[in-house]
Chain A
């Protein structure tokens, strides 16, 4: 991988739309997903950016419903990863019909 290669890095803004917000269970699903991919995941809210494979770090972002999170995925399978992650967010983490 070439550092700074734009194909390796995907960014997107995703919105938290489930009622409970990004609580432990939802954060756990993100971590579980992150563990399936080689790429590194970073989540950013305002100025804080955290490691998306750490459930505790995600919780410290404290994101209620409606929060917009800047997602950055770096690595070879970043595209596939971003696709699944987007789906997880739009599915409201499988919590609501």
Chain B
């Protein structure tokens, strides 16, 4: 499948989504086949054959694990115990015998039977108080996955087995792929598809490693092990660079790193303009593990905790306990700073294999987020219970995504009230005054923001989706990604309207989304009078640097000028020119787009 393994130099231009420069070897992930789990009934005559097929898969798995074990180097032999326990799990009666019994009694195929056995074990393990032991379910999952692969006869690229530091080259990376990655071995990502807000982008930003997406033909033009230079600030990718390129980029990388560490030192200072205007800066997170970085980068809380990860991590739904422990930990670590937990925003580009969702032509506008939660109340209730229970361990706020009108807020709050009553009767404590807000990311919500203020405690403008819906741009479609324009006059006016309605009603308005971390947007966001910005932790030092350099009065003047402009391009050019003049050192160090 690789088209140009001739070693000749080639350059490509994609969408830069996570800054930094890297020089390294390509690791091509060829994932053209989709892994579908077939479930079907079998008849009496097929039972013996199906059991044999399962036993064969167990044998192949055993062989593979033994080979893996033999490859463990002598000095770390100590760690090969994990593989011994995998061999034991493979033949454990709870997994093997129960799967065979299911094939025989329920007359279902081996994959289905195995999945059910795993599900059962998972349920039992979830009840174990000892976290170390209950986490062993991951080993059971890993063994089950191996058996499943052998059953389907598919050899899937194992991202966990990457051994040297590489640049991952893929068509696209799913959340499941990235959880499997051995992160310490990944220098950066480049993908054919995706935009500013794709999972790859968010993941790379969280890990602070460079990434370029939307390259269209990266997997076709790059051969495995090709030498690459990836510039995550400009979107440039050089395949098989010459020595001069490498020297030039290493110099650029050094400059970038130097400046980054110099601004990191100011990250603990408040985001206050020279004329004394203060804005709150919080962080967006996706995993519990990011919380440490949030504090290090000087965030004053978590403005957006995306909760999808626990749902995407495995093929079964997380339990209330799992969710509760996760939320509780985030709340405790951040306490007394607030943590805004956004309820499930599944659907769209994030696919959950365990929720039966029909194939949708237009998933971004389909059954997702609050719509899915209102349709599947059990799913929603589990999460709300977990959030409420966690609310006494810190300062927790609750936020519903994808609100299109008042009706959804009323319904969601009714369910919430029901759960509060339920917890009361169970004598479980929670924060009775928990603040409830909504994401403003659908144009209709902007238009009726005055009506919404009466039902919520705060607004959070989600610009990633708002831009997509308002401009009718599929943000993961690389052919129209160029039309994804935060500076479109329509977007600026929408944000202004929401802030004004929030101020009138006396509720707080924050903005989360890529715009909050875009250096050129900062003067506009200051002038608009937003109470809070929530962004990726790694961008906080840069944003604070900018806020601390621009007087509010100046920002207001610039915003007035911007409102006179007709196109996104004009707005962007104006702001770029102004910013380069106001903070020249940032321009010189490559922090503004060219």
Residues of A at the B interface (CB closer than 8 Å) are 21, 23-25, 28, 31-32, 51, 53-57, 59-60, 62, 64
Contact = CB atoms under 8 A, between A and B. Distances in A.
A31 B95 CA distance: 15
A60 B125 CA distance: 7
Given A28-B85, A31-B88, A55-B92, 5 more contacts: A54-B93, A55-B88, A59-B125, A62-B128, A64-B130
Contacts of B265: none
Contacts of B124: 60
B133 A56 contact: no
Closest 8 CB pairs of A and B: A56-B94, A55-B88, A54-B93, A54-B92, A56-B92, A62-B128, A28-B85, A62-B130
A54 B88 CA distance: 8
A28 B88 contact: yes
14 contacts: A23-B132, A24-B139, A28-B84, A28-B85, A32-B88, A54-B92, A54-B93, A55-B88, A55-B92, A56-B121, A56-B140, A57-B92, A57-B94, A64-B130
Contact of B93 (A21, A24, A25, A51): A51
A54 B94 CA distance: 7
A58 B124 CA distance: 12
A46 to B, nearest CB: 14
B225 interface: no
Interface in B151-192: none
Contact of A57 (B81, B93, B132, B133): B93
B136 interface: yes
Contacts of B88: 28, 31-32, 55
A28 B87 CA distance: 10
B57 to A, nearest CB: 19
B129 A62 contact: yes
Contacts of A32: 84, 88
A32 to B, nearest CB: 8
A25 B128 contact: no
Interface of B: 81, 84-85, 88-89, 92-95, 121, 124-125, 128-130, 132-133, 136, 139-140
Considering residues A28, A53, A64, which has the most beta carbons from chain B within 10 angstroms of its beta carbon? Answer: A28
A25 B121 CA distance: 19
B133 A59 contact: yes
Nearest to A55: B88
Contacts of A56: 89, 92, 94-95, 121, 140
Contact of B81 (A25, A60, A62): A25
Contacts of B140: 56
A31 B124 CA distance: 20
Contact of A60 (B84, B95, B128): B128
Contacts of A21: 130
Contacts of A54: 92-94
Nearest to B84: A28
Given A24-B85, A28-B81, A28-B84, A53 B125 contact: no
A53 B92 CA distance: 8
A24 B136 CA distance: 8
Nearest to B124: A60
A64 to B, nearest CB: 7
B81 A23 contact: no
Contacts of A23: 132-133
A59 B136 contact: yes
A62 B139 CA distance: 16
B133 A62 contact: yes
A78 B84 CA distance: 25
A43 B44 CA distance: 36
Contacts of B132: 23
B128 A55 contact: no
A90 B394 CA distance: 44
Nearest to B128: A62
Contacts of A60: 124-125, 128
A55 B129 contact: no
B15 to A, nearest CB: 44
B69 to A, nearest CB: 13
B124 to A, nearest CB: 6
A40 B130 CA distance: 27
A41 to B, nearest CB: 13
A43 to B, nearest CB: 14
A25 B85 contact: yes
A18 to B, nearest CB: 13
B530 to A, nearest CB: 49
A55 to B, nearest CB: 4
Contacts of B81: 25, 28
A28 B89 CA distance: 9
A28 B139 CA distance: 13
Contacts of A59: 125, 128, 133, 136
Contact of B85 (A51, A53, A55, A57): A55
B66 to A, nearest CB: 15
A92 B84 CA distance: 19
A51 B95 CA distance: 13
A32 B128 CA distance: 23
B501 to A, nearest CB: 53
Contacts of B84: 28, 32
Nearest to B127: A60
A78 B81 CA distance: 27
B5 to A, nearest CB: 44
Contacts of B136: 24, 59
Nearest to B121: A56
Contacts of B128: 59-60, 62
Nearest to B129: A62
A60 B92 CA distance: 13
B140 to A, nearest CB: 7
Nearest to A56: B94
A57 to B, nearest CB: 6
A53 B133 contact: no
A36 B494 CA distance: 72
